């Protein structure tokens, strides 16, 4: 199980597969350098970024799913630890941000869909929502996507949200973290913080 969570009441978590750009997004949100690498699975423990004077922590949880060079048992352990962490702190988590790769997410979901399997991304989306955590899907790397609206509509469809995606702007946030274009995400997060009566945390987003 992960160790060392700061003693903070309010939390926003980033979850998602390896290599979708969570750590890059974390760096963009915090202005704080986070270890990133071309190799999947660089983040093995949560990265907590807590602002000392505030009762708030932003957490980048380790990536789950396939990682080249990482044995399956270890991958499953990471996923289990992520799930346990979210369950344990669910009542403190004001927003869960599920980061996906806009270019590959549909293919990945379709490849892992079957009568007896649910793709990780879809499973994690429903898991967060079932725990009552307001969830935003940060669809990253959108600069590499040509058929933007169609891709986002397809993603809504896979997640069980009725397209068009534009009616879900507090849930679906197309971004490009590497280029610093993350406004749709920060706006969606603020919507949920406002609903939780935590406008005081807007300055972090």
Domains of the chain, first to last: 10-199 (3.40.50.300)
In this predicted model, which residue has the larger pLDDT, 123 or 50? 123
For residue 106 the two structure tokens come to 């549909």
Mean pLDDT throughout 85-104? 97
pLDDT confidence of residue 119? 86
Q: State residue 117's pLDDT score.
A: 75
Sheet harboring 10-16: ordered strands across? 47-50, 56-60, 10-16, 93-101, 135-140, 172-174
Q: pLDDT value at position 50?
A: 81
Asked if 170 and 188 count as a contact pair (C-beta separation under 8 A), the reply is yes
Query: What mean pLDDT is predicted for residues 195-199?
Result: 96
Cα gap 183→166, rounded to integer Å: 15
Question: What is the arithmetic mean of pLDDT over 133-140?
Answer: 98
The predicted model gives 43-56 an average pLDDT of: 78
Q: What is the pLDDT of residues 6-42, one digit of tens each?
A: 888 999 999 999 889 998 999 899 887 655 544 445 5
Query: Residue 34's pLDDT is what?
Result: 58
The 10s digit of each residue's pLDDT in 146-193 is 999 999 999 999 999 999 999 999 999 999 999 999 999 999 999 999
Q: How confident is the model at residue 137, as a pLDDT? A: 98
CA-to-CA separations, 16 to 77, 173, 199, in angstroms, rounded? 15, 14, 26
**Which of the residue ranges 24-28, 125-129, 134-138, 173-177 would you say has the lowest mean pLDDT?**
24-28
Q: Is the pLDDT of residue 74 over 80?
A: yes
- Residue 115 clears pLDDT 70, i.e. is over it: yes
| Cβ neighbours for 199, distance < 8 A, ≥ 6 positions apart | 193
In this predicted structure, what is the pLDDT of residue 1?
Answer: 64
Tokens of 174: 């197309």
> Comparing 81 with 45, which gets the higher pLDDT?
81
Q: What is the pTM of this model?
A: 0.92
């Amino acid at each position: 199980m992960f160790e060392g969570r700061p003693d903070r009441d309010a939390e926003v978590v980033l979850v998602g597969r390896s290599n979708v750009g969570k750590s890059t997004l974390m760096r963009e949100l915090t202005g704080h350098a986070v270890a990133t690498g071309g190799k999947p699975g660089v983040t093995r423990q949560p990265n907590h970024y807590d602002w000392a004077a505030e009762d708030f922590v932003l957490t980048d949880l380790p990536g789950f799913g396939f990682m080249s060079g990482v044995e399956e048992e270890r991958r499953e352990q990471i996923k289990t630890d992520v799930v346990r962490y979210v369950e344990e702190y669910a009542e403190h988590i004001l927003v869960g941000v599920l980061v996906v790769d806009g270019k590959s997410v549909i293919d990945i979901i379709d490849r892992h869909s079957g009568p007896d399997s649910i793709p990780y991304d879809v499973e994690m989306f429903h898991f967060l929502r079932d725990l009552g955590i307001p969830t935003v899907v940060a669809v990253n790397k959108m600069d590499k996507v040509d058929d933007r609206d169609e891709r986002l509509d397809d993603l809504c469809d896979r997640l069980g949200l009725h397209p068009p995606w534009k009616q879900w702007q507090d849930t679906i946030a197309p971004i490009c973290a590497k280029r610093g274009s993350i406004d749709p995400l920060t706006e969606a997060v603020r919507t949920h913080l406002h609903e939780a009566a935590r406008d005081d945390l807007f300055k972090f987003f």
